[in-house]
Structure 1
Amino acid sequence: MEKRIANIIYSSRWLMFPVYIGLAFGFVLLTVKFFQQIICVIPEILTMSESGLVLIVLSLIDIALVGGLLVMVMFSGYENFIAKMETTENKKRLSWMGTMDVNSIKNKVASSIVAISSVHLLRLFMDADKISDNKIMWCVVIHLTFVLSAFGMAYIDKMSKKHYS
């Protein structure tokens, strides 16, 4: 009976599979949005202000950061919780695949959130004349919360590695 329960629990990891498929679909949607922004800016490129172009580029960077985060979570999560990804012989395996544990994924996600928040904050500052000081203040506070959280998680991870090493 105990072995059967263990097998059921072990097999339940496959319930994460649809989640990773959903993330892949989200990545497709993000890619569509990326190209939509590029296509929309092309007709206006010659009349657009430099700051307007910088805002568009920052949006593209933001999408790229989120996309990279999605890929990292999908691949690492699949390999950590479901099964090792087998690639065909002629395709190279990404060097970081199979090397990220849950803590390193968590730290990379936290770092990515800080980077994404930084891009949002920069976009906000570029339009600061149109945004209330109160909103800017709260965005900075939220960003600093992300930064402190990322540092805190990294510190805890470092201390736990030192303690268990």
Structure 2
Amino acid sequence: MLKRGLEVFLFASRWLLLPFYLTLVLGLAALLVKMGQLIYELLPHLWESQEADVLLQVLGLVDLTFASSLIVLVIFSGYANFISRLTPGATQSWPEWLAQIDFTGVKLKLMSSIVAISAIQLLRAFMDVKNTPDRELYWYAGCHLVFVFSALVLAITDRISGDKR
């Protein structure tokens, strides 16, 4: 009876993750506010801005979009994997993949998103190469290579472990 009570308690403790996911929703809202701020700063000066400046601002929007998508992915996959099963049929607008997220897929999508965000940051630095010190460029490139290598190793290890099943 004690063992059963402990198992029920441990199983119920998964709901302690819910505040973390709700906080991530607040982070998503904060990124939405930041996107609004970027648009507010971009639009009034659009006509007199150089193409490179507009491109840098748009890359910032793409960066925020990737980060936001990453947050949504973590929220849904974490909820579905650790708290409760999702029922996409309840609403017609839910994507099909929502109910089929597994932890391996989340890791690969997470690393892919991190690599994409890093690539955008690196591209932004190279677009503004006149104002970016060489040391920063080296750090951006080095970090990006580490992320690419890490994603590659993760994909390889997942493929190797998947073949043994």
TM-score, normalised to structure 1, is 0.95
- Residue by residue, what CA displacement relative to the aligned partner does 1:88-120 show, whole Å, maximum 9, x if unpaired? 745332111121111110110000000000000
- Structure 1, unaligned stretches of length 5 or more? none
The residue type paired with residue 139 of structure 1 is Y
- Residue by residue, what CA displacement relative to the aligned partner does 1:21-76 show, whole Å, maximum 9, x if unpaired? 00000001101111111111111011111000000000000000001101111011
Structure 1 CA distance, aligned partners of 2:70 and 2:82? 17
Aligned to 2:33: 32
Structure 2 CA distance, aligned partners of 1:87 and 1:112? 24
1:140 aligns with 2:131: no
Greater share of residues in helix: 2
Structure 1 CA distance, aligned partners of 2:47 and 2:127? 20
TM-score, normalised to structure 2, is 0.95
- Identity, % of aligned positions: 35
Aligned to 1:112: 113
Structure 2 CA distance, aligned partners of 1:160 and 1:86? 29
- Structure 2, unaligned stretches of length 5 or more? none
Structure 1 residues 89, 12: CA separation in 2 closer, same or farther (over 3 Å shift)? closer
If asked which structure has higher relative contact order (CA below 8 Å, sep 6+), I would say 1
Equivalent positions of 1:113-128 (< 5 A) are 113-128=114-129
Aligned to 2:45: 44
Equivalent positions of 1:12-23 (< 5 A) are 12-23=13-24
Aligned to 1:56: 57
The residue type paired with residue 61 of structure 2 is L
- Residue by residue, what CA displacement relative to the aligned partner does 1:113-137 show, whole Å, maximum 9, x if unpaired? 0000000000000111111212111
**Aligned length in residues:** 164
Aligned residues: CA RMSD: 1.2
More deviation in 118-127 or 98-107? 98-107
